[in-house]
Amino acid sequence: MIHLKIYKTLDYTGVTSCDNAIGEIFSSLEDLKNDEVLQVILDADWKFKELKEFISKTKYKILDVKKEGEKYIIIIGGKS
């Protein structure tokens, strides 16, 4: 069993545009080591939709999604 650790948590609750967030997320993903994942926190359905679209165009994948109230807690990693 491989143990994955959270490299960084990026919290975008209250952010009104994903443009800068996407760049920061991609940069953080590029810094991941094999046993690390990125945790992203979002607070809107449209933000989650944009993130899913972005990730689908990269070598990374969404490994887990939890919804807690209005927040999405997303784990991204797994270079393909």
Domains and CATH numbers, the chain: 5-77 (3.30.110.40)
Q: Which residue has the tokens 């952010």?
A: 15
Supply the pTM of this predicted model: 0.90
pLDDT, one tens digit per residue, over 13-69 is 988 877 788 899 999 999 999 889 999 999 999 999 999 999 999 999 999 999 999
Task: Give the strands of the sheet with 5-11, arranged side by side.
Answer: 5-11, 36-42, 71-77, 61-68
Q: Are 63 and 76 in contact (CB under 8 A)?
A: yes
Q: Which of 21, 9, 6, 14 is nearest to 70 (CA)?
A: 14
pLDDT at position 10: 97
